[in-house]
């Protein structure tokens, strides 16, 4: 087709009906592909956002978990220190008492065969020194608050009985020796009673501490299972976290 000379040419593309259908199909496919790409992009963004949310929640959970574990581990340390104090006090005082008993039962402290005042003085001196040594050990040995009152009472008993033995060792007459010996017998009875009360009190302190240790051990097992679950979440998200370990009380 042509125009008049001097006029611009006008071109028209003549398509057959089949070609028109092909062009329409290509346009539809293009729109579908574009829609598919958009859907894939949206899903990817949503997945990334979901992962970020899960990571953020995981970090929050780890921080809370680690704070709980820190408190648990501190409780374990306190319980262990308390149990160590009780066991040490019981052991030290029992050993000191054994030493004291050994001195009092030693032949060197036996005054039953004495016929002179000087002999009585000599046989009393080891006992006076032994009570003084026990008193020093008692005063320097920390005990838990629940046993403090009994320990204070035993300290007074020890000082009083020790002074009786000092007076026996320094007596200048049979009468003064006899008076000091009578006082030593009375004060010694209080000493024996309060010593046994203190040891019993220390033993009683161990019962609740032992129960607490069992509770802490069970808690450690539960916490460490929770920590393992947090690590599995981190592995699934492919992130690195730092999960504290709950210490058992052992």
Number of domains composing the chain:
1
Residue 143 in domain: yes
- Structural domain including 220 reads 56-237
pLDDT of 33 higher than 60: no
User: Quick one: pLDDT at residue 196?
Assistant: 98
Asked, for residue 30, whether it belongs to a domain, the answer is no
> Is there a domain that residue 33 lies in?
no
Tell me the average pLDDT across 35-64.
Answer: 79
Mapping DSSP onto H, E and C, the string for the chain reads: CCCCCCCCCCCCCCCCHHHHHHHHHHHHHHHHHHHHHHHHHHHHHHHHHHHHHHHHHHHHHHHHHHHHHHHHHHHHHHHHHHHHHHHHHHHHHHHHHHHHHHHHCCHHHCCCCCCCHHHHHHHHHHHHHHHHHHHHHHHHCCCCHHHHHHHHHHHHHHHHHHHHHHHHHCCCCHHHHHHHHHHHHHHHHHHHHHHHHHHHHHHHHHHHHHHHHHHHHHHHHHHHHHHHHHHHHHHHHCCCCCCCCCCCCC
Per the prediction, the chain carries an average pLDDT of 88
pTM of the entire structure? 0.73
Q: Is residue 5 part of a domain?
A: no
Residue 4 counted as domain residue: no
Least trusted range by pLDDT, from 51-60, 63-72, 160-169, 172-181: 51-60
Q: In this structure, is residue 13 part of a structural domain?
A: no
Q: How far is CA 144 from CA 131, 202, 210, in A?
A: 23, 8, 15
**Averaged pLDDT, 153-180:** 97
Per-residue pLDDT band for 17 (boundaries 50, 70, 90) equals low
Provide the pLDDT for residue 250. Answer: 80
Q: Do residues 130 and 98 touch, judged by C-beta distance below 8 A? A: no
The per-residue pLDDT for range 127-142, each reduced to its tens digit, is: 999 999 999 999 999 9
Query: What token pair was written down for 26?
Result: 């290509």
In this prediction, residue 88 carries a pLDDT of: 96
The CATH number of the domain where 81 resides is what? 1.20.1330
- 102 occurs within a structural domain: yes
Q: Is residue 41 part of a domain?
A: no
pLDDT band at 89 (very low <50, low <70, confident <90, very high): very high
Q: Which of 2-11, 42-51, 180-189 has the highest mean pLDDT?
A: 180-189
């Amino acid at each position: 087709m042509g125009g008049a000379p001097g006029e611009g040419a006008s071109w028209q593309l003549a398509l057959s009906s089949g070609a028109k259908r092909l062009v329409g199909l290509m346009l539809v496919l293009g729109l579908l592909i574009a829609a598919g790409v958009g859907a894939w992009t949206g899903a990817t963004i949503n997945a990334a956002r979901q992962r970020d949310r899960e990571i953020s929640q995981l970090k929050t959970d780890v921080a809370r978990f680690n704070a709980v574990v820190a408190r648990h581990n501190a409780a374990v340390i306190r319980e262990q220190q308390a149990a160590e104090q009780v066991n040490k006090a019981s052991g030290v005082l029992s050993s000191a008492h054994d030493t004291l008993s050994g001195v009092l039962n030693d032949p060197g402290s036996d005054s039953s065969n004495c016929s002179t005042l000087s002999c009585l003085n000599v046989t009393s001196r080891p006992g006076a020194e032994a009570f003084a040594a026990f008193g020093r050990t008692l005063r320097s040995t920390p005990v838990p608050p629940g046993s403090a009152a009994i320990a204070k009472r035993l300290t007074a008993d020890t000082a009083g009985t020790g002074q009786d033995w000092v007076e026996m060792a320094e007596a200048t007459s049979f009468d003064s020796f006899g008076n000091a010996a009578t006082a030593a017998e009375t004060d010694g009875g209080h000493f024996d009673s309060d010593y046994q009360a203190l040891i019993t009190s220390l033993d009683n302190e161990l019962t609740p501490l032992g129960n607490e240790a069992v509770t802490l051990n069970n808690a450690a097992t539960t916490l460490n299972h929770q920590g393992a679950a947090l690590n599995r979440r981190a592995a699934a998200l492919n992130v690195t976290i730092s999960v504290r370990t709950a210490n058992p009380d052992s």
